[in-house]
């Protein structure tokens, strides 16, 4: 779900991949705790295709959000 040709910072290029946004807490001792995560759903391919979303089990009330907006909410 959410796979398409898009830029991946990990790969350093455009390729078929899923992109996720993670929110973590880092202590002064450099310990990390994962607080939340969300799968980025591309707007023009996945979010625009209601049939594809339903077949993949994407909730119908899920709205498109940029990766920056995902972190802010």
Domain ranges of the chain: 4-72
The pLDDT value given to residue 73: 64
pLDDT tens string, the chain, 73 residues long: the values are 678 888 888 899 999 988 888 888 999 988 999 988 888 888 888 899 999 999 999 898 888 888 888 877 6
The pLDDT value given to residue 14: 93
The pLDDT value given to residue 43: 87
Centroid of chain to Cα 34:
15
The pLDDT value given to residue 30: 86
Residue 21: name the closest of 68, 73, 60, 63 by CA.
68
The pLDDT value given to residue 54: 92
């Amino acid at each position: 779900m959410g796979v398409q040709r898009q830029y991946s910072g990990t790969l350093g290029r455009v390729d078929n991949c899923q992109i996720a946004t993670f929110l973590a807490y880092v202590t002064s001792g450099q310990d990390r705790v994962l607080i939340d995560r969300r799968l980025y759903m591309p707007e023009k391919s996945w979010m625009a295709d209601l049939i594809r979303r339903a077949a993949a089990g994407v909730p119908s009330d899920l709205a498109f959000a940029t990766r920056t907006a995902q972190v802010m909410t």
